[in-house]
Amino acid sequence: MISTADQPRGGPAIAIAWECLSNYTRDDAFSARLVLRNDTAQAIAPGWALCFNTCRKVLADTVSPGYTIAHLNGDLFCLAMPGGGPWLPGTSHTVEYEALHWAISITDAPLGFYLLPGDGGPAVDLGDPEIAPFTRPEQRHRMRGDRLPTADAAWRFEQNAALALLPIEAVGRITPRPVSAHFDGRRCLLSRHAPLRYEGALWNEASLLASLLGPLPGMVPGGTADLVLELGAVEGMAGEEAYLLDIEPGRVRIRGASPHGVFNAIQSLAQLLSPFGELPTGVVRDAPRFGYRGMMLDVARHFAGVNTVLRLLDCMASYKLNRFHFHLTDDEGWRLAIGALPELTGVGARRGVAPDGSASLPPSYGSGADIDASAGSGCYTAADFITILRHAHARHIEVIPEFNMPGHARAAVSAMRERHRRLLAAGDPDGACAYLLHDPEDRSSYESVQLWHDNVICIALPSVDRFIDTVVGEVCMLYRAAGVPLRVIHTGGDEVPPGAWLGSPRCRALMEARGWDVQQLHDDFIERCRAILARHGVAFAGWDETALVKQDGRMLPNPRFAGPDFHVYVWNTAWGSGQEDCAYRLANAGYQVVLSNAASLYFDLAYAKHPQEPGYYWAGFVETRSAFGFGPLDAGAQAAQDPMGRPVAATLQPPDAQGRGRIKGLQGQLWGENARSRARLDYLALPRLLGLAERAWAPDPGWQDIPEAGQRAARARDDWNEFANRLGQRELPRLDRARRPWDYRLPPPGAVVKDGWLHANVALPGLAVHYTVDGHAPSVSSPRIDAPVALPQAGRVKLATFDTRGRASRIVTLTLDHP
């Protein structure tokens, strides 16, 4: 059986098992079965209910007779047995139902069950169900038209067949690849006592370099080389991030066009430096392709502590990423304390079922009923946030906070509703309405993509502007306290559900008074947000919906906001959507664009189509190669397929000369729905983050300039082979040596048995594959397979990929049955 939990959570002995029965039940729906057994010694009182989260909306009229499954809000559902008697010890309930879409992996299963006892007692967490294996075609495919094969061992073996293990000398030493790097075969030695000379403006960089040298030996044979840090132009390289790294046997000279350039050179030096202080001698000249190289972390769906965030910033800096998009708010959480509005975190950062009935947000994404134990609870104090800002700034990373509105705003709406209730009870009606975000008379009927019915701010209220101004003002104050500039605030703006505002008297009155439709109402809100930010000296950023308008059934650039102070992060470009070239059209229309394409740069999506691979897959499956192979200025240069595996022959409008200049860079998105632990965050982020860094920094590989498709694909395949070797032989072992090693995803091996011989390979050459034939799980002490091996006549062989710490990938099992 399979468990979705990273670590099983305790609870009463109620066994919960779940199985997908078939995805072929009907179009866009699947059937499933829940089996619930009372393994306690006591009866559970009548009137009990089980609540749980699921991303697949249950169809209420399909539930087994005698039971109900009600949709409460968001992804929270409640199973009950109306009129039933007590739940006796040892007895089971079997409930079948249908739900929208499909279930092909552990991510699609319900999770985070908790019991609401019939006697009125407190909610009790039960944890996640045991999930039956997905073995049959109707369990592994989304529908009969799903052409994408399951990524099993044989499929992986075929995919990896084009890869080859390269000699270490043929593998790049620096990631992302520099513009120019030449080494001459000699060596330079450094110790932790290496003399370090630097200009006063480089004190921060010198301090970071000194910390890098700290673990090195105190003495080295022949003495240590000197280190020199300096500012100045770098021949042949443009931009403030350019650097020169000149390594000779007795001296290491680092020159940067700015302190940021010097910092970049230090990151390259760190990759060249062995644990014993040895460096290859040579010259590196380098500068980035794009000025914006970002990573987004969503901490609203699941909270990530300060140390987790600082660790991610360190990793970003190591690979020369320079923008941290901090997704601080959403429907499921508000994470930054705002002194003037304590309810924002007093309510919006607490998720679960409070025993005392105090206000909190409902459990989401399996976070459970216990507020204090929930991965959905937590916030950053002012001191925490200042720590993050200063840590990022020292590493030349700009922090771009996001406060999502007017949709995706339920945490804020709920918090301000509670503030309203509290102040009304205290006899202060004016104060109660000062920051109200909802229209109490609103009867709008809508459902967001994440199944919320009350997550949209009423943008006709003057109190909304006061709320935004107050939040922005405090955020500006925190940046000033940190001594860090604030240039941009991201306001979200995505996925406002159809139907929002239509039942609000306040919104209807404003639209009628101005002669507006809903689009114009929304545009007015964006204009007001821009004006508020401008008063604070901050530029506006939002997702692509903020810059689009629907015309003749298509989403087209809205000419109203185009300009240098409007930054658009374009995500909704999935193949087959008709929006594949949305980013290019917006850039051509005058918008500043950050490429955030879901099909290549959404790191919350599953790496591959496999039942045990965590992550969503609505825009397809995103491997490390997906980020590496992304064409920022010509996304159509490589063959594409839609999420169902069908070829897509979309004709993309390319960016024109001016449009190319408005594409500022790339950003990876790590949404938090499935990142309920630090280990899961590591797994989803890496090694995809390295593919992102390569494509954002390294020179244009020129694939799009090769006219013949076969030659173009061959060139891209060769480049990927080198990068895959770079990860397997250099970068992942380096991450293993970090002070706090990363639990990055290890790709399971590909494997087949042919004529009694076991053949195996791996997606990142250089990683070790070990196997067993005795039924035990493989370990690093098991035989390693580097060439085909003969196997017994029958039985099972188990294989796994291993890192240099002895950590294993998911185990692959093959049944042996040959003559």
> What are the residue numbers of the active site?
495
Residue pair 779/806 in contact (Cβ under 8 Å)? The answer is yes
Element (H, E) at 534: helix 518-535
- To the nearest 5 percent, what fractions of the chain are helix, strand and coil? 30, 25, 45
**Does 46 sit behind a cis peptide bond, omega within 30 degrees of 0 on the bond before it?**
no
Fill in the DSSP letter of residue 165. Answer: P
From residue 144, give the alpha-carbon distance in Å to each of 101, 587, 644. 13, 39, 10
Q: What does the block give as tokens for 193?
A: 């006592």
Burial class (CB in 10 A: 0-12, 13-18, 19+), 35: middle
Residue pair 491/405 in contact (Cβ under 8 Å)? The answer is yes
Mention every residue, 6+ apart, whose C-beta is less than 8 A from residue 689.
295, 315, 316, 319, 321, 603, 668
Locate tokens 């700009």: which residue? 398
Three-class DSSP labels, 296-327: EEECCCCCCCHHHHHHHHHHHHHCCCCEEEEE
Distance from chain centroid for Cα 551: 31
How many other C-beta atoms lie within 10 A of the C-beta of residue 188? 21
Residue pair 276/649 in contact (Cβ under 8 Å)? The answer is no
Mention every residue, 6+ apart, whose C-beta is less than 8 A from residue 688.
603, 607, 622, 623, 624, 626, 627, 668
Mention every residue, 6+ apart, whose C-beta is less than 8 A from residue 491.
402, 403, 404, 405, 526, 529, 533, 540, 541, 542, 546
Q: What does the block give as tokens for 598?
A: 């879901």
Q: What b/e readout covers 755-787, taking b as 16+ CB neighbours within 10 angstroms?
A: eeebebbbbbbbbbbbbbbeeeebeeebeebee
* End-to-end CA, the chain: 31
Residue pair 751/812 in contact (Cβ under 8 Å)? The answer is yes
The string of DSSP codes covering 200-228 is GGGHHHHHHHHHHHTTS-S--TT-PPEEE
- For the chain, how many residues are written? 819
How many other C-beta atoms lie within 10 A of the C-beta of residue 295? 28
Locate tokens 């390259």: which residue? 268
The string of DSSP codes covering 658-692 is HHHHHEEEEEEEE-STT--SHHHHHHHHTTHHHHH
Whole-angstrom Cα Rg for the chain: 28
Locate tokens 């901050």: which residue? 538
Fill in the DSSP letter of residue 731. Answer: I
Compute the distance between CA of residue 166 and CA of residue 145 in angstroms, rounded to an integer.
39
Q: Phi and psi for 470 in degrees, rounded to 5?
A: -65, -45
Q: What does the block give as tokens for 804?
A: 């240099």
Residue pair 724/764 in contact (Cβ under 8 Å)? The answer is yes
Distance from chain centroid for Cα 299: 10
